[in-house]
Structure 1
């Protein structure tokens, strides 16, 4: 006996419990067009991602070349030791994933030019250095604390002074470095990358241009405004002015090294130097230096601003954060004791 014509039992069960009619003939054509459009959209998205990756590689390679040129070493072909020293020098400024990308950019540039990758030929020394960087960053992630306003005041108060109760030259630099880094929510690399031409003191405060940032691969730059502080002692604008006047800086890097004789160097500080300066200042103030890193300045600004009720969009505009998820982590930290349920325990 022949089976009745019509939809199969599978078709019936798949439509069971729905009120949707079967697609009409013209709808099949529309769905086909949508499928084509979706494929094209995915292709465009893939090209965009690829272009972003290429742009990041170009920026990474440019940074490596600049680092090599400043030190008079050859970037192409680079010696394996050069790559090891470079990774060690910039390790404090970037996440592991970003450092991995930078090594990939160096390798790709060498392969394109027909050379062996120094990142591969340096396998053993680089492997050891990389393992140390990974462990250090893992510990730092667990321990790093945001540097808050009250703590920063303590640190500034504890900076060394002369017999006349004036800040020493080194203290003036460190005070400006810490206050501008905090108020500007600056990364270490952004802080040491500042040039005299990047800042302008106005009647409203400090106008600051961040020309290079790891979140700004296209190099558009970010302009920030920093108001005068309420207290002259901890005002970032006055602190920077005092330092540049004492150091007679009219051009070039803002924050520079100082030798043991008090001579101010021409070259900018490194990102690692920022962390060391901060830890030393923290220790002098009686705080635990192991709890803080160079990132504590930026983290502290974001946490403090959130604690004071500054809106997310305003914080993100100032910090240059691209991800609201990261900013909200700081906001949760800043609001930890707001409307806290332990208030109701009566302890």
Structure 2
């Protein structure tokens, strides 16, 4: 006698296919950061507009159309990295539509040719090292805006924070201790799953450039006890309730650099993170300790800073060989 079908509890019932598809689509979206999704959406819109103007198919596209588009982008002066991202965005759109990848061998050969013809070393902003950072901080005015900028520069530098990381911190993410301040970084570029990372920011040796003292002064000046850590300050020195936008960090760095006698076009928000890593390498800090502090998972990434930490004659392989 055949057994009766097993009745599953409601909590274990099979999920309808339509719901599963929608849930899977949601997870597919969540696999990328919000910034990446915005960039891909913009790249996809540019591609579809180009296709529409020339009567080329966009979804699915053809190898011929995609080769023409990548060539158009290259001849329009777009950087190789931008063109590579274009292809990723177009591929992601096809993936989301359950269509075959457009990365045809012909497309990849055209992209290789573009790299060989237009490929250049990526331009990098200068790292802000301790002497330059101290000069920038000393030049800032003693106003609420200047006090905020000084705290942001020193705190972001000491924590090696990316600009998106530092502006999304809240007061609740900080714990002040006798050694400094412990920061809970809830999510980062290398931690999209939001497992969280704790970073310790120690007291500085010099009061004028101590990140912990600068941060405490900013919180006291702005009367901030909860919510966003770094906030907008208007021209009347009034502190807003909303947090800073990530793009504002670059402007703060460049404004401080100009006040400190540094070419503002040579620095950006990443100059703070790069400065800490470069200074740590120069001082002989171990790679594991640097990676633990910065949250970087790739030794190759740190090695780029190792190479830039000294000039071409420091520890030169051709020196002292008997010639």
Q: 1:230: which partner in 2? A: 205
Q: How does 1:45-124 map to 2 (within 5 A)?
A: 57-60=29-32
Q: 1:188: which partner in 2? A: 163
Q: From the superposition, tell whether residues 139 and 296 of structure 1 become closer, same or farther in structure 2 (CA, over 3 Å).
A: farther
Q: Are 1:339 and 2:315 counterparts?
A: yes
Query: 1:63 offset after TM fit, Å?
Result: 6.8
Q: From the superposition, tell whether residues 139 and 250 of structure 1 become closer, same or farther in structure 2 (CA, over 3 Å).
A: farther
Q: 1:301 aligns with which of 239, 258, 276?
A: 276
Q: 1:151: which partner in 2? A: 132
Report Cα offsets for 1:243-293 as digits up to 9, x if no partner.
011001111111111111111111111111000010010011111111111
Q: How does 1:1-347 map to 2 (within 5 A)?
A: 57-60=29-32, 141-160=122-141, 167-336=142-311, 338-340=314-316
Aligned partners of 2:34, 2:138: CA distance in 1, in Å? 40
Query: 1:335 offset after TM fit, Å?
Result: 3.8
Report Cα offsets for 1:142-177 as digits up to 9, x if no partner.
1411111111011111111xxxxxx21111100110
Query: 1:103 offset after TM fit, Å?
Result: 6.1
Q: 1:34: which partner in 2? A: none
Secondary structure in structure 1 of the residue aligned to 2:182:
strand
Query: 1:185 offset after TM fit, Å?
Result: 0.4
Q: 1:119: which partner in 2? A: none
Aligned partners of 1:222, 1:277: CA distance in 2, in Å? 26
Query: 1:218 offset after TM fit, Å?
Result: 1.0
Stretches of structure 1 that go unaligned for 5 or more consecutive residues are 1-52, 68-79, 82-94, 113-137, 161-166
Q: Which has the higher helix share?
A: 1
CA RMSD of aligned residues (A): 3.4
Could you tell me the TM-score, scaled by structure 1's length?
A: 0.60
Q: How many residues align?
A: 235
Stretches of structure 2 that go unaligned for 5 or more consecutive residues are 1-24, 39-44, 47-80, 99-118
Q: 2:18: which partner in 1? A: none
Report Cα offsets for 1:97-127 as digits up to 9, x if no partner.
9976996799689969xxxxxxxxxxxxxxx
Aligned partners of 2:88, 2:241: CA distance in 1, in Å? 27
Cα contact 1:56–1:217 (8 A) shared by 2: no
Secondary structure in structure 1 of the residue aligned to 2:123:
helix
Secondary structure in structure 2 of the residue aligned to 1:60:
coil
Q: From the superposition, tell whether residues 329 and 265 of structure 1 become closer, same or farther in structure 2 (CA, over 3 Å).
A: same
Q: From the superposition, tell whether residues 140 and 256 of structure 1 become closer, same or farther in structure 2 (CA, over 3 Å).
A: farther
Secondary structure in structure 2 of the residue aligned to 1:142:
coil
Query: 1:340 offset after TM fit, Å?
Result: 4.4
Report Cα offsets for 1:289-325 as digits up to 9, x if no partner.
1111111111111111000000000000000111110
